[in-house]
Homo-oligomer: A and B are copies of this chain.
Amino acid sequence: MPDDAKPPFARVSLIGLGLIGSSIARAVRETMADVHLTGFDADTGVRERARALGFADAIAESAADAVAEADLVILCVPVGSMAAAASAIAGALPADAVVSDVGSSKASVAATLREALPNATIVPAHPVAGTENSGPEAGFASLFQGRWCILTPDAEADPQAVERLQDFWTRMGAKVERMDAKHHDMVLAVTSHLPHLIAFTIVGTASDLEGVTESEVIKYSAGGFRDFTRIAASDPTMWRDIFLTNRDAVLDMLQRFSEDLSLLQRAIRWGEGDTLFDLFTRTRAIRRSIIEQGQDDARPDFGRKHS
């Protein structure tokens, strides 16, 4: 086997076996068959289910055991649990292991990892991919195909470790970009965190009305509402943690959104049709670009079944 076909890591450890952790395991199995995979999850039930699903070579009974022989450790836990997960592996982590994560906010996670693992080789990462489902059963090998994975190494990061992690994600089908952690947090605040916050809000608003019943909301949801319920069904712990750790960027984007919404509110109140029409024409173009760049399904209605 030529050297460039050798996987960049030989023993990979996944801490957290939910949607992302279990998808990485399955993707590694498909694309880097030689890699030895060890998994751990703080939840006993998840460990048992992961064993039954069989996507890893071994499921350890402690985080320390899971990482003891790893050359790559990926923390796949909610960002609010990163400190605990990092502390749990601190004593057992091999000196030459690379530590990474998959958290959706990066500046705060980077600081947390650095504090818990002061001597480790750390390369934070964020695969921009997922579904609304959670747990080890929800993962699948192609989740990262064609999606972006953003690495946010700091200035002191070991360039070789960054290269190896980039290779690792590329093999799983992801396109890799490097970015400053603070910039990442601003980009994701608008492309992911604000959309989720708005979706959670409107689903809450709709279920709290007195003049319209929840059963009516559900019945007639195909008018647009149902689109928001998908991301509003995402994991509550994961999303609470993201909003609390990327607070400043989320509040900034939210402020801008609220201002823009007020403008449209005023246009509706005063019957200013041109203001509405001009915006609605502009927003169409963005959809086209997203589809052209392969970031969404080109079929109408996301490819939903009709019949």
Binding site for B on A (CB under 8 A): 80, 104, 128-133, 138, 140, 142-143, 145-148, 150, 173, 177, 183, 186-188, 190-209, 211-212, 214, 216-234, 236-237, 239-241, 243-244, 247, 250-251, 253-254, 256-258, 260-261, 264-265, 268-269, 271, 273, 276-277, 279-284, 286-290, 293, 295-297, 300-307
- Give 5 closest A-B pairs by Cβ, nearest first: A192-B223, A236-B280, A233-B287, A195-B224, A302-B302
Chain B residues with Cβ below 8 Å from A227 are 195, 199, 227-228, 230-231
Residue in contact with A229 in the complex, picked from B173, B196, B233, B286, CB distance below 8 Å: B286
- In the complex where A195-B224, A227-B228 touch, is A219 in contact with B295 (Cβ < 8 A)? yes
B220 A286 Cβ-Cβ under 8 A: no
A287 B195 Cβ-Cβ under 8 A: no
A303 B300 Cβ-Cβ under 8 A: no
Residue in contact with A295 in the complex, picked from B104, B226, B295, B301, CB distance below 8 Å: B226
Which chain B residue has the least Cβ–Cβ distance from A269? B251
A128 B283 Cβ-Cβ under 8 A: no
Q: How many copies does the complex hold?
A: 2
Dominant secondary structure of chain A at its interface with chain B: helix
Nearest-neighbour CB distance to chain B for A167, whole angstroms, equals 20
> Most chain-B CB neighbours within 10 Å: which of A145, A243, A280, A303?
A280
Nearest-neighbour CB distance to chain B for A22, whole angstroms, equals 13
Q: How far is the CA of A58 from the CA of B66 in the complex (A)?
A: 71
Chain B residues with Cβ below 8 Å from A289 are 214, 218
